[in-house]
Structure 1
Amino acid sequence: MPLQVAVGHSSLTGPRERNEDFCGVVTPEGQELENKGLVAALGDGLGGHKGGREASEYTVRGLLCDYYATPDTWGVHRSIDKVVTALNRWLLSQSARDPELAGMATTLSAVVLRGRRYYSAHIGDSRIYLLRGGELFRLTTDHLWDHPELKNVLSRAVGLDAHLLLDYAEGELQAGDRFVLLSDGVWGVLPEAKLVEVLLAQPEPQHAAAALTSLALASGGQDNASAVVVEVRELPPPSLRDSLEHVSQLPLPPRLKQGQELDGLEVEEVLHESRLTLLYRVRDKHSGQRLVLKTLRPECAGDQEEISGLVMEEWRARRVVSPFFPQVVPADERSCLYFLMTWHEGATLQRMLDADHHFTVAEVVQHGVRLLKGIAALHRLEIAHRDIKPANIHLGQDGRLRILDLGVALSAGETGAAAGNPGTPSFMAPELFAGEAAVAAHDLYAAGVTLYHLLTRKYPYGEIEPFQHPRFGEPVPPTRWRPEVPAWVENLLLKAVAKDPAQRFETAEEFLLALERGAARPLAAPARQPLMTKNPLLAWRLIAAVSLALNLVLLALLLR
């Protein structure tokens, strides 16, 4: 059963010649309702300015439209902030371009109902109330200057300042909740006791909204009067997103040792410890199943960015239902912040290299086919792994190859701190060192370096240390290290790790097809760039040196 609501809205002009308020509600269905929720918004354009109505309408319409265009992986508040920040810039540009639109600004109050939670965003002096159990709660604070001569003058609004600062809040929903969005033409005239009286007397949200605006004008209101009423009729069952948001509020577990227990899970071994994360192999004492428990180090307590990152990693991992990845095991009764994944006996390809395993050409091709199938499954979900390397590729005793660690992965549309380039330098494409952001296509380059490394234990451009700023020439052919590598394999790998992104494989499917066709339909050897193209400075220096040498020879002949 999805979220069930009833909606009402009303906006009256009153004594003024022009209604500068604007309100709207979007009630999507299906997956969009589950992922993004319902949005209600109200704007009150600044009075006395030609662009007041335009500002409120453009802002509300823009939010209601563009919010649904933001990625599902973004949080509600992040999506609203990104959209309203862009709208704010547009209003400021219009004010700067047209003197008659100077001061084009608006208040904005918005509520999003998604799953079993509500989210609010607010700037200005329109208000959001919550009527729950017959009691009215005010969810917003008016942004007005606290000065006798500036009474009723906004200190914050959309379009008022380049630095936009919205107030955000969120909480749990209850059946019967009524969210009421009001312009100051209503709440400035009717006291809160009268608001409660009207809301309780009108069981239908549309009647309630109309009654509030009509009563405000009938009581002497001189401003536009607008109201939006959204009533929660039925709540949906808890969703994955809701449960994960709850998990993010849990404390981090203490550092665990072998033999200790947590939520019925017995620690058997510490598998890995990094600067931020801890991985344990645990055994479910009830089922006997071995699992991998991933959490943050206790020192990360209070670091909301890292906590959100771990929650997002679990969210992504749950979306990736594929035999080429470990699968998340539900852990609904968690007392601490962690998540569980399936455990598979075996070793990473890097561990096999460290143990002096010699990969044959046939093994590398076979592993490459499986790796590209896994990457293709990830890319179809619009997720970039961003750290493909032998240490993150596991070969199980069951013969299956699995891609590990989505900790630095990036879903489509994510930006900010998460959008840096956290990969391992030797596996990073040349353009990433120039500041370009890592995307799904760069996983294909890293896959090419991985296969090259499995064959040769070398890197196509040499090993690159952290914080090093390398200069890239031509990749070294793998036959320099392994002369028995077939020409078709060499051509394929050189294409995958080409310096120029335009010469590489465009998709995982294209790379996979080339591997599967093999010697039957080999790729042509990549064209080597002329020196003048790839290093014009060196080319001119050589030309100058040759010219100087010839001139010296000619001079010597003339002097004889």
Structure 2
Amino acid sequence: MPLIISPGYASLAGLRERNEDFVGMVTPAEPELSSKGLIAAVADGVSGNDGGREAAEYAVRGLLADYYATPDTWPVTQSLDRVLKAMNGWVQQQGTTRPELSGMATTLTALVLRGCFYHFSHVGDTRLYLLRNGVLQRLTTDHVWDRPEMQHVLTRAIGLDTRLAIDHGMGELKQGDVFLLASDGVWAALTEYELTRQLSELALGASDANRTAQSVVQAALDAGSSDNASALALKVEALPDASLRDAVSGSRQLPLPPRLKPGQSIDGYRVEALVHASQTTVLYRVVDPKSGKPLVLKTLQPERDGDMQERSAFAHEEWLARRAVARFFPQVVTPEQRNYLYYLCTWHDGHTLQQHLDAGRHFTVPEAVAEGTRLVRALGALHRRSIIHRDIKPANVHLGDDGELRVLDLGVAQSGLEAGDGNPAPQAGTPSFLAPEQYGNAVPSRQTDVYAAGVTLYLMLTRHYPYGEIEPFQRPRFGDPAPPSRYRPDLPLWLENVLLKAVARDPADRFETAEEFLLALERGASRPLQPPAPTPLARRDPALLWRAVAAVSIVLNLLLLYLVAAR
């Protein structure tokens, strides 16, 4: 579903002879709606002559046109900043070269709605309001002198100075949000209580956006406003699925939380314990203040605050986690407000498979088959969502006390949902679980996840790796995998054949999909797989084969030389 907005506007001169306000909005079609978003702006000309109106109109028209000409790779804030500063230079030049426009300047507030985020840029004393859940919030700050007798004297405006300082901000959109962009002729005459009442009618569906904007402007004039009065109202009717680009953009704006201790709170969530900490990330168990239920809060280490690559990777992880909606994964929980970079997901009592192995738990064959079936089902659910996990291993497989198996940690996962996303590094993951072709820089695929799941099940049953443990930075050589029955004599032949196929050295000999792996586990002894044939030396180790051929050739040549010399 695309972003759907209901807009409306009104602008009246009031008691003035000329309306120096100007409002405008662009609602593009796809693909611009997804790549650049919807933009709306209101400006209030400063000069009392023709220059004020011209500055306001030029600033709004120029912004609406030039914003869509900026590169799609630029963040929204960068695009708005560049365009508005160019507008400032033009207005400055016109005011100095054309006497009739001397002193022309304008205030301006612009709003961009893209994906699941809003962005705004602001200079002057026009305002932007947000009504959410019946609560009105002013998002902008007036740029005027902070003295009673100078409250209407601007300190910033487009065209006022050669150097323009612009306020930028952003936040997450919620369905039902109502935005109001207003000139000072509106907000100076109406209380926030009255604005809340008017906008609430739009939020509740009692009025449409056009009637709301007209009603706000007329109410300001009825309240005694003698200035031009302009209002632009927008209601968020529907939100699209959050794009990776918007998630990454949002991650750059939020600060990282400090290191937290049990008993401290963050955005209302009370920290109970530190669950895990790595060089990059940290996990806390927190309590939801409303439900009292435990949740997992994941964030980056505080010293990673300036690492844009880590921030982008973290945003990518959250974006993927929100799409893994199934019982096989912890579910992401959206906080009511988020002032720091983190994400929340459901907490489940239990232990990881690695913790069970470290504690010495012995898995029977039926138990291993049951857990292996759940693991492969989870992989299939990921792959149907075009997500490659890339780090399947016992530490990322959680066996819940509720009997469910859940796959954890999408930190190095890749997705085909958007072109160019994810980390292209082929060897991200844990060495002993990387498929042999990945050591030749092959692209990660569904089969590399299948291989890692096979190694996990093999390790669960035998406490050994099919090709031996591989240390980081080691360049391993792969022969034929060791039969698991060597370490586990009670293993049935059908299960051994399934495991050997799952961890086959050559992808062509491996299960193509998680569904094929699952079918083999479910059929079991009723339709067993054929045992794998030994890999010929030419495929297993071509270099060794040719060295052997060369050695035999040398021996034969030496023998021939000896026979010739003996004659």
Q: Report deviation, 1:497.
A: 1.2
Unaligned ranges ≥5, structure 2: 9-25, 40-67, 77-110, 121-125, 128-155, 160-167, 182-231
Aligned residue for 1:293? Answer: 297
Greater gyration radius: 2
Residue 56 of structure 2 corresponds to none
Q: 1:119 to 1:331 in 2, by over 3 A?
A: closer
Residue type of the alignment partner of 1:518 = G
Taking the TM superposition and a 5 Å limit, the aligned residue runs for 1:193-232 are: none
2:424 counterpart of 1:419: yes
Q: Which residue of 1 aligns with 2:497?
A: 491
Moved more, 278-287 or 512-521: 278-287
* Alpha-carbon spacing, 1:293–1:171, altered in 2? closer, same or farther (3 Å): closer
Out of 340, 343, 354, the position equivalent to 2:344 is 340
**Residues 10-51 of structure 1, C-alpha deviations (whole Å, 9 max, x = no match):** xxxxxxxxxxxxxx99614xxx888556699xxxxxxxxxxx
Does structure 1 residue 528 correspond to structure 2 residue 534?
yes
The change in CA–CA distance for 1:498 and 1:477 in structure 2 (over 3 A counts) is same
| 1:251 is the counterpart of 2:252 | no
Counterpart pick for 2:488 among 477, 482, 486: 482
What CA distance in whole angstroms lies between the structure 2 residues aligned with 1:362 and 1:267? 39
> So what's the TM-score if we normalise by structure 2?
0.60
Separation of aligned partners in 2, 1:333 and 1:251: 14
Q: Is the 8 A contact 1:77 1:119 kept in 2?
A: no
* Partner amino acid, structure 2, of 1:431: E
Report the Cα distance in structure 2 between the residues aligned to 1:440 and 1:116, rounded to whole angstroms: 30
1:362 aligns with 366
Counterpart CA distance in 2 for 1:411 and 1:473 is 31
Per-residue deviation, 1:512: 0.8
In structure 2, the CA distance between the partners of 1:316 and 1:533, relative to structure 1 (3 Å rule), is closer
Aligned equivalents of 2:73 and 2:559: distance in 1? 75
Aligned-residue offset at 1:327: 0.7
In structure 1, the residue matched to 2:388 is 384
Report the aligned-residue RMSD. Answer: 4.3
- The corresponding residue for 2:184 is none
Q: 1:524 to 1:279 in 2, by over 3 A?
A: same
1:361-510 matched pairs, under 5 angstroms: 361-412=365-416, 413=418, 415=420, 418-420=423-425, 421-510=427-516
Deviation string, structure 1 residues 199-226 (Cα, Å, up to 9, x no partner): xxxxxxxxxxxxxxxxxxxxxxxxxxxx
Greater Cα offset, 531-540 or 240-249: 240-249
Cα shift at 1:252: 0.9
* Aligned residue-pair number: 393
Residue 242 of structure 2 aligns with an amino acid whose one-letter code is R
2:283 partner SS: strand
Contact 1:324 1:403 in 2 (8 A): yes
Change (3 A) 1:411 1:551: closer
Code of the aligned partner of 2:497: N
Partners in 2 of 1:498 and 1:112 — Cα distance?
Answer: 52
Counterpart check, 1:311 vs 2:320: no
Deviation at 1:285, TM superposition (A): 3.4
| Counterpart residue type for residue 73 of structure 2 | H
Q: CA deviation at 1:520?
A: 0.8
d(CA) in 2 for partners of 1:486, 1:380: 31
Q: CA deviation at 1:291?
A: 0.9
Indicate how the Cα distance of structure 1 residues 294 and 509 shifts in structure 2: closer, same or farther if over 3 A, else same: same
1:201 corresponds to: none
**CA deviations over 1:179-234 (Å, ceiling 9, x no partner):** xxxxxxxxxxxxxxxxxxxxxxxxxxxxxxxxxxxxxxxxxxxxxxxxxxxx9976
Distance in 2 (alpha carbons) for counterparts of 1:113 and 1:407? 28
- Residue 2 (structure 1) aligns with: 4
Secondary structure class of the residue paired with 2:297: strand
> 1:227: which partner in 2?
none
Structure 1 residue 325: Cα displacement: 0.3
Inter-partner Cα distance in structure 2 for 1:269 and 1:447? 30
CA contact (8 A) 2:314 2:411 kept: yes
Structure 2 CA distance for aligned equivalents of residues 357 and 518 of structure 1: 24
Q: Give how far 1:429 is off.
A: 0.8
The runs of 4+ residues in structure 1 deviating greater than 4 Å are 32-40, 116-120, 135-138, 169-177, 231-240, 242-248, 543-556
Give 1:291's aligned amino acid. Answer: L
Q: In the TM superposition, what is the alpha-carbon distance from 1:530 to its structure 2 partner?
A: 1.8
CA–CA distance in structure 1, aligned partners of residues 265 and 235 of structure 2:
39
Checking the alignment, whether the CA contact within 8 Å between 1:279 and 1:293 is kept in structure 2 is yes
Tell me by how many angstroms 1:414 deviates.
5.1
